[in-house]
Amino acid sequence: MKRIPESIWSKCLTVNVHPGILPVFAGRHPQLRALADLKRSYTAVILHSIDSDEYDVGPGLSTTLVDITERDRDDPNAFFERTRLIGVYMVAAFLIGKGANAV
């Protein structure tokens, strides 16, 4: 994954969708790590702003809790798709809330 250069995130609002609880599941493969943690019954999809060169840090803008079921553990691809779609909806809702100032 490439870092977004400071020349971009320092001049305009730049956001990231992270499909895992932060900071617990920061970094790569957060969905797999959440599914592998058999004690965990939920994770989250987090929309946050990017304000540094570090991955998965920055002020949270929106969080959606996501239940983890046995079916998710049996079919990780369906779980990945579900969390991806949640992230898409979160970005859309955020942009709608920003109105004409979104871009």
Q: What integer pLDDT is reported at residue 55 of this predicted model? A: 87
Which DSSP helix (H) or strand (E) runs through 36?
A: helix 30-36
pLDDT category of residue 100 using cuts at 50, 70 and 90: low
Q: What is the pLDDT of residues 38-80, one digit of tens each?
A: 999 999 999 999 988 888 989 999 999 999 999 999 999 999 9
The model's pTM is 0.86
Residue 93's Cα: distance from chain center in Å? Answer: 14
Rounded distance between C-alpha atoms, residue 57 and residue 68, angstroms: 24
Q: What integer pLDDT is reported at residue 6 of this predicted model? A: 85
Beta bridge partners of 46: 18, 63
Q: What integer pLDDT is reported at residue 20 of this predicted model? A: 97
Q: Among positive and negative, which fits the CA dihedral 60, 34, 91, 56?
A: positive
Q: What CATH number does domain 6-102 carry, 3.30.530.80, 3.30.450.20, 3.90.1150.10, 3.40.50.170?
A: 3.40.50.170
Q: What integer pLDDT is reported at residue 28 of this predicted model? A: 93
Q: What is the pLDDT of residues 7-27, one digit of tens each?
A: 888 888 889 999 999 999 999
What distance, in Å, lies between the first and last C-alpha atoms of the chain? 23
Burial zone of 49 (CB within 10 Å; 0-12 exposed, 13-18 middle, 19+ buried): middle
Q: What integer pLDDT is reported at residue 89 of this predicted model? A: 96
Domain ranges for the chain, please list them. 6-102
